[in-house]
Every structure is written in C-alpha cells, then in structure tokens.
Structure 1
Amino acid sequence: METLLIVLHVVVCLFLIGIVLLQHGKGADIGATFGGSSQSLFGSEGPLPLLNKITTAVAVIFMLTSVALAYISSHTGTDSVMSGLTKPEPVQTTQPPAPVQTEPVGPQPAGDTMPIEPAKAPEAKTDAPPAATPAAPEKTQ
C-alpha cells in the first residue's frame, strides 16, 4: 500500500510540475497592456480556464498524498535498525602460542663464516684464594 502511494505521489508531482509550466503567466499580459490590448493586467479574468481547474485538483491530490505518506511513516517501524543485530562472539583459537625467541637473530657480517656462539653464563666464584703465581726473580746489583 505504501509503495503504491509513493508511486502515485511521484506521478502527481511530475504532472503538477508540467501543468504549472504550461500555464500562461499573468506577467505576460503586461506587454499587451501598454500596446492597447483589450485585456488589462489587473482586470477580471472571468471564469477559470480548464487548465487552472486541473492545476487546483492536482495540487489537492498532491497535498493529500503528502499528508498520507507523513502519517504512514510516523506510525510504522518503531524498531531501530540496530535492534536485529547480535553481538559477535570472540574467536576461539586452537593453535598453541608461538615460542618465545631468546636470542636475537640478525644478519651475519659478510666476511664472517664462524657461527655465533650463545653467551655463556658467568662461572661461580669460590672462596679459595687464587693460585700462587711464581714470583719474578729479583734483580741483584
């Protein structure tokens, strides 16, 4: 029903535009007034011509369809557009986490063919005194 009313409204609108553009304007008579024509600008027009009656009828139909469409649009569709949406659930992954890399891996220098050895942990200190080193021979004079 609403679609039919919209189509009727658009057709009536286009017809009304065409009829208004076809009518003879009152301002067009002003040139004939000074030329001695029998019609005057402010004189009585007599009975309404057929084109004016059609224009009035089409304007009334246009107003009625406008009011009907406004009434229909205000009384239908109280739901929000967003009411039908559901909240997406978070994605569950079954893959294990990636291993943590302990050593930085970078490009090797161009001339180095030896692989880089990992850093060694510092050795534990003992309470023993350092080994005795042989004393240097004394010089005699």
Structure 2
Amino acid sequence: MATFIIIIHILASLFLIAVVLLQSGKGAEMGAAFGGSSQTLFGSRGAATFLNKLTTVAAVIFMLTSLALTMVTTKTTSVIKQSAPIEQQKALPQLPQQPIQQPQQMPQKPTGK
C-alpha cells in the first residue's frame, strides 16, 4: 500500500513541477513590458486557464498523497506491545548475583569521660 502511494506521490510531484514551469508569469505579455497592462484587483488574465486548473488538481493530489503517506507510515505497534509479557520475563534464567559485601566499620576511639 505504501509503495503504491509513494509512486503516485512522486508522479504527482513531477507533474506539478512540469505544470508550474509551463505557465507564463503575470507580466509576460508584450504590453506589460512597456507599462501598458491594465492591472485589476485579481490580475489581468481573467478566468483561470487550463494550466491553472491542472496546477490546482496536481497540488491537491500531492497534498492528499502526503497525508496518506504520513498516516500509513506512522501506524506502527506500540513499544509496550512489542515487549515480552511478564510471565516470559520471569521464565528467563536469572544470572547469578554477587553477594553484597558490607563495608567494614572503622574501630571507634573511646571517648574519655
């Protein structure tokens, strides 16, 4: 499943790069070079072109595959579930422990009273 989403994600990203590079800039018209373009609030291009719509579709597919990859790759089991149960841990052989040595006490000096 993750491999399929990665392939779609790579194709969408390459397609998005190509569509963005194919578009011309807002000031690319000949009249804009001499200051004769009329700028409106949303630009002088009017309705969205076919390349703009392709860019939007490619961007949406790219974002959806990014989210899908995030959800698919982060669904792992918990570390707690992966650890051995307590019964199995008790059944493991115990290593011999060294006896704990008590520190030797220093002889106390008699108090002269």
TM above 0.5: yes
Query: What stretches of structure 1 of length at least 5 have no aligned partner?
Result: 84-141
The equivalent of 1:40 in structure 2 is 38
Please say if residues 5 and 65 of structure 1, whose CA atoms lie closer than 8 Å, have aligned partners that are also in contact: yes
Please say if residues 27 and 33 of structure 2, whose CA atoms lie closer than 8 Å, have aligned partners that are also in contact: no
- CA offsets 1:53-110 (integer angstroms, 9 cap, x no match): 010011000000000001111113656xxx9xxxxxxxxxxxxxxxxxxxxxxxxxxx
Write the distance in 2 (CA, Å) between the matches of 1:77 and 1:4.
22
User: Deviation of residue 45 (structure 1)?
Assistant: 2.1
Alignment-mate amino acid for residue 34 of structure 2? G
The equivalent of 1:69 in structure 2 is 69
Cα-Cα RMSD:
2.4
Write the distance in 2 (CA, Å) between the matches of 1:14 and 1:77.
33
Please say if residues 33 and 41 of structure 1, whose CA atoms lie closer than 8 Å, have aligned partners that are also in contact: no
Please say if residues 12 and 62 of structure 1, whose CA atoms lie closer than 8 Å, have aligned partners that are also in contact: yes
Q: Which has the higher contact order (CA 8 A, sep 6+)?
A: 2
Alignment-mate amino acid for residue 25 of structure 1? G
Alignment of 1:98-137 (within 5 A): none
Q: Which has the larger radius of gyration?
A: 1
TM-score of the two chains, using structure 1 as the length reference: 0.48
User: Deviation of residue 36 (structure 1)?
Assistant: 6.1
| SS of equivalent residue, structure 1 residue 28 | coil
Alignment-mate amino acid for residue 38 of structure 2? S
Query: What stretches of structure 2 of length at least 5 have no aligned partner?
Result: 84-113
Does residue 15 (structure 1) correspond to residue 12 (structure 2)? The answer is no
User: Deviation of residue 41 (structure 1)?
Assistant: 4.2
Instruction: Give the structure with the higher percent helix.
Output: 2
- Percent identical across equivalent pairs? 49
